[in-house]
Structure 1
Amino acid sequence: MWHSRRATEALNIRYPIIQGPFGGGFSSSDLVAAVSNAGGLGSFGAHNLTGDQIRSVVAEIREKTDKPFALNLWVSVVDEGGHGLTGPEYVAALEAFAPFYEELGISAPPPPENHIENYEEQVKALIEARPDVFSFVFGIPSVDVLARCRTAGIKTMGAATTVAEAKALEAAGVDIILATGLEAGGHRPSFLKAAEESLVGTLPLVPQVRDAVSVPVVAAGGIGDARGIKAAFALGADAVQLGTAFLACAESNATDAHRDWLFDNASDDTVLSRVFTGRLARVKRNRFTESAPAPLPFPLQAWFTGVMKNTAAKVGQHDLASLYAGQGSPLLKHRSVEALMTALLAELDPQFLKSQNPIMETDNV
């Protein structure tokens, strides 16, 4: 049956549908719980949280669901040259960003200090909190971390943008591989080569990864409806991950304006750019993506754009905000997890849906 796949067994979920994790404050415990309670795998992007915040988030999620869920971290938290700036380099950066700060009426950030996330602290907190799944991007955790996850009963799922990355993940002992095509919204999590040299589409990537590895494969990138899910299964995927489709739901922490744009016809105008964080990401094409100064290495670029893009989003000045979206955005129709999951399941297998009355186990949401 379409819903009985290796990934559902490995993740202990009813349906092979995974919600993509969102960092930068877009994730919410309500979204994670709603997806998990509906039979999928909810995910929380925790790469910008401290250890204590991770423990708090996990406790909050567990108050809303007793179903499996995932926490996501970035294995690599700093790029070459991203550790800091000299005094003259800081002044030069301020000069480049000053017009945008002035336009929004905000103060410039101080020199970057303690701007790099403590990955070791995050991993320690994650393993102590014991989510069902540790998903990660931008690299492979150490042998020790993967072993500690196995001991704790935590499944591991790593993102690959090329076949070589998929092979490296399997060789390291990762349980599940996420094959993410260039159509996906958000950051391109390449780690063996530069992201610009690793732009493989979902259509060619998934079957190549399926042929190259023996562990379960999850397809991601541009999947916005049941047709995309069926196509991913035909390509050999054991499950699918939908990001933008869940970001558009009311349960996410996206702004209303961000959600409204996702349902607008103009949401097909996305671009891969480094201007918001210093790492390549698919976002709405706007004035900042077209006119920003040459980006600094990650996370320095994020240090200087953080207050700018957050303020721009709050005041509705979208030409300076980072609105993440995948190329499947024009396919979106549903504004809640219940509506989205019901529609997907009804089209994937209407008889199964009718016979099982399966979704929306929401008593504890």
Structure 2
Amino acid sequence: MTNHFLKVLAIDHPIIQAPMAGGTTTTELVTAVSEAGGLGMIGAGYLNAESTRQQIQDVKKKTNKSFGINLFVPQSYQIDEEKIRKSEEAMHSFRRSSKVRVFKSYEQTKKDFHDQVAVIIEEKVAVCSFTFGIPSDRIIQSLKLAGIYTIGTATTVSEALAVEAAGMDAVVMQGSEAGGHRGNFLAGVEQSMIGLMALIPQTVDQVSIPVIAAGGIMDRRGIQAAKCLGAQAAQLGTAFLTCKESGANDLHKQAILEKHQEDKTTLTSAFSGKEARGIENNFIRDMRKVETELPAFPIQNTLTKSIRSAAAQKHDREAMSLWCGQNPNAAMPITVQELMHKLVDEA
């Protein structure tokens, strides 16, 4: 089954680079992973149609190997002025110290999403995955008619069954260990916090589409464990985030590489309004007291955007979103080629 899965995706190894949005998945990172026999993935969740097309074309110029792209399924949201006021009040000290203004326009429109889908079809990208839900039947069918392999993201068996019922070709199962945003969409984040080693076998027993394991996998042992439990491939995020080709801020990479065994990552909605796993810092700690009262994604994400940008410019990681999985101690500051060698060739 794994050999068939690899043949369908036109890749040599059951390794997928997680599509980390926000600038981490540079053209160099995506290209290097695909050139090494894995599946490089563009994280296009925060891009518009024009920048999506540009990066797709840039990757095509550097490789003729298979690569993919990920989109965020648009979230419905309501603008709650009282929650926005509480958020702005709670962030006052960070805004004052960084001398930034709060954004008043909110990202992630349905038009942007549909325009991105049209670009992906026009550019004939091999693989398209989705996070934060399931796109419409019309979108899924249009992608499949164009010969594009579709992948959903799930955190529970129920969500995996929904992905399969929607007609998607495969599903990424995101364990509780995963860094970055939770991909849950049928239930709350509490119900989504299932460890990967428990999540894979029960999902494999319930769905017939290929299962891709994600969450805390950093080395060859993790990939082999996931395959032993029935996964067809593994999707790695933090491991690729610290690679030299990654576009993650150097402070972000350094924070992961400096992690000590006794330190812990934490779940927070303070940065975006949606639960995500990252390295705890002052912003997370200060916002914890009002976390349940913050606006939902994407509003909170937009409200904190200028704070995060200013912090990065000032080399202050105490107000940056430092997304990271639960196994940062295995992260290394190496090239993609060196990492792929460790994942595939080292005995």
Taking structure 2 as the reference length, the TM-score comes to 0.93
Give, in whole Å, the separation in 2 of the partners of 1:226 and 1:90.
44
Does residue 275 of structure 2 align to residue 280 of structure 1? yes
1:6 is matched with: 4
1:355 is matched with: none
Q: Give unpaired runs (5+ residues) of structure 2.
A: none
Contact in 1 for aligned 2:39/2:68 (Cα 8 Å): yes
1:78 is matched with: 75
1:153 is matched with: 147
1:40 is matched with: 38
Letter in 1 for 2:180: G
Give, in whole Å, the separation in 2 of the partners of 1:326 and 1:312.
22
Give, in whole Å, the separation in 2 of the partners of 1:193 and 1:14.
35
1:341–1:113 distance in 2 versus 1, CA, 3 Å: closer
Q: Which runs of 4+ in 1 moved over 4 A?
A: 88-92
2:163 is matched with: 169
Displacement of 1:123: 1.6
1:108–1:166 distance in 2 versus 1, CA, 3 Å: closer
1:337 is matched with: 336
1:290 is matched with: 285
Q: CA-to-partner distance for each residue in 1:178-224, whole Å, 9 max, x for gaps?
A: 11101000100111111222111101001111111111111110101
Displacement of 1:177: 1.0
Give, in whole Å, the separation in 1 of the partners of 2:22 and 2:301.
10
2:215 is matched with: 221
SS across alignment from 1:179: strand
Give, in whole Å, the separation in 1 of the partners of 2:260 and 2:75.
33
Displacement of 1:327: 0.6
Give, in whole Å, the separation in 2 of the partners of 1:165 and 1:195.
13
Displacement of 1:246: 0.4
1:173–1:272 distance in 2 versus 1, CA, 3 Å: same
1:304 is matched with: 303
Give, in whole Å, the separation in 2 of the partners of 1:101 and 1:300.
16
Please, which moves more after superposition, 153-162 or 191-200?
191-200
1:192–1:90 distance in 2 versus 1, CA, 3 Å: closer
Q: CA-to-partner distance for each residue in 1:309-343, whole Å, 9 max, x for gaps?
A: 12212322111110110012111235210110011
Contact in 2 for aligned 1:334/1:340 (Cα 8 Å): no
Give, in whole Å, the separation in 1 of the partners of 2:90 and 2:344.
49
Does residue 186 of structure 2 align to residue 192 of structure 1? yes
SS across alignment from 1:71: strand
Give, in whole Å, the separation in 2 of the partners of 1:95 and 1:344.
46
Does residue 235 of structure 2 align to residue 245 of structure 1? no
2:66 is matched with: 68
1:55-134 to 2 correspondence within 5 Å?
55-75=53-73, 77-81=74-78, 84-86=79-81, 90-109=84-103, 111-112=104-105, 116=109, 118-134=112-128
Give, in whole Å, the separation in 2 of the partners of 1:89 and 1:265.
34
Q: Give unpaired runs (5+ residues) of structure 1.
A: 351-365
Letter in 2 for 1:244: T
Give, in whole Å, the separation in 1 of the partners of 2:219 and 2:251.
22
Letter in 2 for 1:63: K
Give, in whole Å, the separation in 2 of the partners of 1:114 and 1:49.
10
SS across alignment from 1:149: helix
Letter in 2 for 1:263: L
1:314 is matched with: 313
Identical-pair percentage: 39
Displacement of 1:106: 2.1
1:263–1:240 distance in 2 versus 1, CA, 3 Å: same
Give, in whole Å, the separation in 1 of the partners of 2:117 and 2:72.
10
1:51 is matched with: 49
Contact in 1 for aligned 2:17/2:240 (Cα 8 Å): yes
Contact in 1 for aligned 2:151/2:169 (Cα 8 Å): yes
Displacement of 1:116: 3.8
Contact in 1 for aligned 2:273/2:299 (Cα 8 Å): yes
SS across alignment from 1:5: helix
1:219–1:6 distance in 2 versus 1, CA, 3 Å: farther
Contact in 1 for aligned 2:107/2:299 (Cα 8 Å): no
Give, in whole Å, the separation in 1 of the partners of 2:25 and 2:206.
32
1:60–1:67 distance in 2 versus 1, CA, 3 Å: same
